[in-house]
Structure 1
Amino acid sequence: MAQRTVTIASSVGLHARPAALFVEKASSSGLDVEIARPGEDPVDATSILGVMALGAKHGEEVVLTAEGDGADAALDELVALLATDLDAE
């Protein structure tokens, strides 16, 4: 299982547009991807409700995990997405 830790760059955290873009990217990977705040239970990264309920705010770290062929590459793309201020685009 591949794992990455990333700091949320979007000023509103993982809410609204950033969450939707993240879920879309996670879903397109075709892998089982989960996201969690450190020390908390992970949620399905392809669930908009799960990701928004996570309540990850700007500057907080989240842990991403994925399983399957191409998991490392998929997580690298998701990390790059979360490390970008998606509200500035």
Structure 2
Amino acid sequence: MPARKAVVQASIGLHARPAAAFVRAVTQTGFAVTISKDGRPGVDARSLLEVMTEDFACGCEVELAVRPETVPDDSSLADAERALTDLCALLESQSG
């Protein structure tokens, strides 16, 4: 399963505007991405409610993952890896 770790940099964590921007970016990838922290089961990163409910605070390390069975036929695992890299970069660059 393709996965990447990132540290949330938005000063308010993944709430309000930073969470909405992240969820929008995840949805645009076309992949079923999960986000988790502290070894807990991941939540659907395409769901604003689920992302905001998990309390991903500023400075917390999260893991993003794509389940290989959800990769569309017209995409590859390399595409999923690139998408995760871009999403991690977004989390680590947000200042909102």
TM normalised by structure 1 equals 0.93
TM-superposed CA distance for 1:40, in Å, is: 1.0
Q: Which has the larger radius of gyration?
A: 2
How many residue pairs end up in the alignment?
A: 87
Give percent identity, aligned residues only: 40
Supply the AA of the counterpart residue of 1:53: T
TM normalised by structure 2 equals 0.86
Query: Cα deviation per residue 1:35-63 (whole Å; 9 max; x = unaligned)?
Result: 00121110000000000011010000000
> Which of structure 1's runs of 4+ aligned residues deviate more than 3 A?
none
What CA RMSD, in Å, does the superposition of the two structures yield over aligned residues?
Answer: 0.9
Q: Unaligned regions of 5+ residues in structure 2, if any?
A: none
Report what 2:52 is aligned to: 52
Within-5 A mapping of 1:1-89 = 1-66=1-66, 67=68, 68=71, 69=76, 70-87=79-96
Supply the AA of the counterpart residue of 2:45: A
Q: Unaligned regions of 5+ residues in structure 1, if any?
A: none
Supply the AA of the counterpart residue of 2:26: A
Supply the AA of the counterpart residue of 1:56: F
Higher helix share: 2
